[in-house]
């Protein structure tokens, strides 16, 4: 590995860690680095990408919990359903390729952009603890989101935030805290399964993970201490989704 590749991997991981903590889809950066810069095949990149997701989510979870933004008792059913769905998703992911889902993914992201831009005040309100999502909605929604996260990971954070903020009535920062913990909760098992199938390059994955963990820790500190954290999280979310949509539809040159 050349020095320039290491620099790109660490810096890209750092940016992805910030993006994942405030919004999601940082895997678009890390997967691109693993495939285009480090030369891994797609299925190995998908497995190796979980090394960074594991380390970053653990550091971010620590900061969110330490600063009182993560209430595990309040979210235990949502977390459990997502983890179960993720384990089913990874069982599928290690057996079939996922490249054919790119066409579906780009239209999902386009629809998500519309949802985010319509009535933006919905994304910056305080948590509503009196009107929680009923279990009949929790089960299908968070099982499906967990399955998607276990299967491919990229974009899962954005869809997960939408469910927590718009349906479960969390504020954006607490929703990010739950999202990060959920990723931490299922990624260890997911990573072990990818490793068992020989689909993890630990050297490349760890190099990116160093940057991701640093970026995630830094972003979580800002998210839990800044009085304008909800506003900045929303702005980053909008920027990320617009960028992803433009890239997926071939409107960006990189």
pLDDT along the chain (254 residues), means of 10: 89 92 82 89 87 93 92 88 88 66 70 80 69 81 87 78 88 90 86 89 95 95 87 86 82 70
Say what the pLDDT of residue 213 is.
96
Q: Which residue bears the tokens 């992805």?
A: 16
Give the pLDDT score at 187.
83
Quote the pLDDT of residue 34: 92
Kindly list the distances between the CA atom of residue 245 and the CA atoms of 64, 138, 156, 208, in Å, as whole numbers in the listed order.
Answer: 29, 28, 15, 24
Whether 253 is in a domain gets the answer no
Angstrom distance (rounded) from CA 224 to CA 177: 9
- Per-residue model confidence (pLDDT) at position 211: 96
Please indicate, yes or no, if residue 231 is contained in any of the structural domains. Answer: yes
For residue 96, the model assigns a pLDDT of 63
The pLDDT of residue 159? 86
24 occurs within a structural domain = yes
Q: For the residues of 194-210, what is the DSSP string, one character each?
A: HHHTT---HHHHHHHHH
71 domain-assigned: yes
For the chain, what is the domain count?
Answer: 1
Other beta carbons within 10 Å of 182: 29
Look at residue 11 and tell me if it is in a domain: yes
194 in a structural domain = yes
Whole-number pLDDT of residue 24: 78
In terms of residue numbers, what domain contains 161?
3-248
205, part of any domain:
yes
pLDDT at 149: 78
pTM attached to this predicted model:
0.82
Domain annotation covers residue 254:
no
pLDDT at site 210: 96
């Amino acid at each position: 590995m050349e020095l320039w590749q290491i620099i790109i991997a660490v810096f890209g991981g750092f940016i992805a860690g910030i993006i994942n903590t405030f919004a999601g889809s940082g895997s678009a950066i890390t997967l691109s680095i693993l495939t285009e810069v480090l030369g891994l095949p797609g299925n190995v990149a998908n497995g190796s990408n979980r090394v960074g997701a594991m380390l970053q989510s653990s550091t971010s979870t620590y900061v969110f919990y330490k600063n009182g933004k993560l209430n595990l008792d309040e979210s235990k059913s949502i977390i459990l359903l997502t983890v179960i769905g993720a384990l089913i998703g990874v069982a599928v992911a290690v057996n079939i390729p996922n490249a054919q889902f790119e066409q579906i993914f780009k239209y999902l992201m386009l629809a998500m952009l519309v949802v985010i831009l319509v009535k933006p005040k919905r994304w910056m309100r305080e948590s509503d603890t009196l009107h929680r999502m009923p279990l009949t909605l929790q089960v299908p929604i968070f099982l499906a989101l967990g399955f998607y996260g276990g299967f491919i990971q990229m974009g899962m954070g954005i869809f997960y935030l939408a469910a927590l903020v718009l349906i479960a009535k969390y504020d954006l920062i607490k929703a990010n805290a739950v999202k990060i913990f959920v990723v931490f909760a299922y990624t260890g098992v997911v990573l072990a399964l990818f490793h068992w199938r020989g689909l993890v390059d630990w050297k490349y994955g760890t190099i990116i993970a160093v940057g991701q963990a640093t970026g995630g820790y830094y972003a979580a500190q800002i998210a839990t201490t800044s009085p304008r954290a909800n506003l900045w999280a929303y702005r980053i979310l909008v920027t990320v989704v617009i960028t992803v949509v433009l890239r997926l539809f071939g409107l960006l040159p990189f």
